[in-house]
């Protein structure tokens, strides 16, 4: 039994080592534009949203370790495709309004930032004041 556990652990370690030869491509394309917002709103967005929703992602050390790196890169790509503050003015007004309403809904439901992100990034947690500020900005901008 002990021998099986040792061989199993060695096999898992070997598999993890082999996976490191298949890195995920972490990208930060050039920033085309930035969202137009008051400084206070931009500060909140940069702290809580930009890692997944801009071309200014800060890639932590663990984003280089497979298979976790694959999940993180996919997560960022998905976030950027949903909403990308680095491309904000390239959206037409209808798209901007849709995104702002989505921001309002997700903030009201406490869905963003994602709980899985907050585990390693507690500084991204939104305070009630942060939420009010973002809701006011999104509501004013979309009306």
The predicted structure's pLDDT at residue 33: 78
The predicted structure's pLDDT at residue 28: 76
pLDDT by 10s per residue, the chain, length 143: 888 777 776 667 666 665 566 666 777 788 877 788 899 999 999 999 999 999 999 998 988 888 878 888 888 999 998 888 888 777 677 777 887 888 888 888 988 898 989 998 999 999 999 999 999 988 765 45
The predicted structure's pLDDT at residue 87: 82
What gap in Å lies between CA 133 and CA 143, rounded to an integer?
16
Contact yes or no for 85/49 (Cβ under 8 A): yes
The predicted structure's pLDDT at residue 122: 95
Q: What are phi and psi of 4, to 5 degrees?
A: -65, -40
Using a cut of 0.85, tell me whether the model's pTM lies above it.
no
């Amino acid at each position: 039994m002990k021998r099986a556990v040792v061989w199993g652990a060695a096999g898992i370690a070997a598999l993890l080592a082999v996976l490191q030869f298949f890195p995920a491509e972490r990208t930060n394309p050039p920033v085309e534009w930035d969202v137009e917002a008051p400084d206070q709103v931009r500060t909140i967005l940069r702290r809580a949203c930009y890692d997944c929703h801009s071309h200014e992602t800060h890639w932590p050390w663990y984003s280089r370790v497979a298979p976790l790196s694959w999940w993180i890169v996919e997560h960022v790509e998905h976030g950027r495709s949903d909403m990308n503050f680095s491309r904000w003015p390239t959206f037409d007004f209808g798209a901007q309004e849709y995104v702002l309403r989505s921001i309002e809904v997700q903030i009201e439901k406490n869905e963003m930032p994602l709980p899985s992100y907050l585990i390693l990034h507690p500084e991204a947690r939104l305070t009630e004041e942060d939420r009010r500020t973002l809701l006011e900005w999104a509501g004013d901008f979309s009306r």
